[in-house]
Amino acid sequence: MLLKIVQVGDPVLRDRTRMVSREEVQSPKFEQILEWMRETMRDAPGVGLAAPQVGLPLRFAVIEDNVESDQTERKPVPFHVIVNPILTMVGTGQVEHYEGCLSIEGFQAKVRRAQAVRVEGWDHHGDAVTIDAAGWYARILQHEVDHLDGMLYIDHMDPRTFTTTRNAGLAAGPSPSRSLSP
């Protein structure tokens, strides 16, 4: 089942999410929601989808990226879930790229993000995980965790680069085949 992706202006996108309990994570209902979110993310298409984007004020997101590009340090990332993530920047390196969002359809802007991050949280079983990521994967994680904190890429963007997705491709060369969102 495809879920409706809420758009900018919906209050759920600006509120902080609540932590998910281990009992919730291990429930059949949670498993079903994850499957629906995976289908919705793939259909959009996107590389991540946070619970608030489908109207749920809960602290989790699904992520998957099948694209590879040396230009953006982008490598395939298999499907996975991050629950109750805590994100830490690693080092001082930053990178600026065009970024879009499934909840802000049709637009992109340049966003400066940390080059590398560490995320600690749970997987879809409620087991502890630590993810060390760099490049595009680090960008995806930052974007998704922002959603869980009530933030959107437009809060970090260079406003002079805000443009339609079509024009972003003209300004930066070919745009990524899948929108970053999250």
Q: Tell me the residue length of the chain.
A: 182
Q: Which of 23, 35, 68, 144 is catalytic?
A: 144
What whole-number distance in Å separates Cα of residue 154 and Cα of residue 120? 25
Beta-sheet strands, E only, within the chain: 48-50, 60-65, 77-89, 94-100, 107-114, 116-122, 128-134, 163-164
What's the CA dihedral at 35, 61, 121, 139 to 10 degrees?
Answer: 130
Is 120 an annotated catalytic residue?
Answer: no
What whole-number distance in Å separates Cα of residue 127 and Cα of residue 48? 20
What's the CA dihedral at 42, 47, 50, 51 to 10 degrees?
Answer: 10
Residue positions annotated with a catalytic role: 144
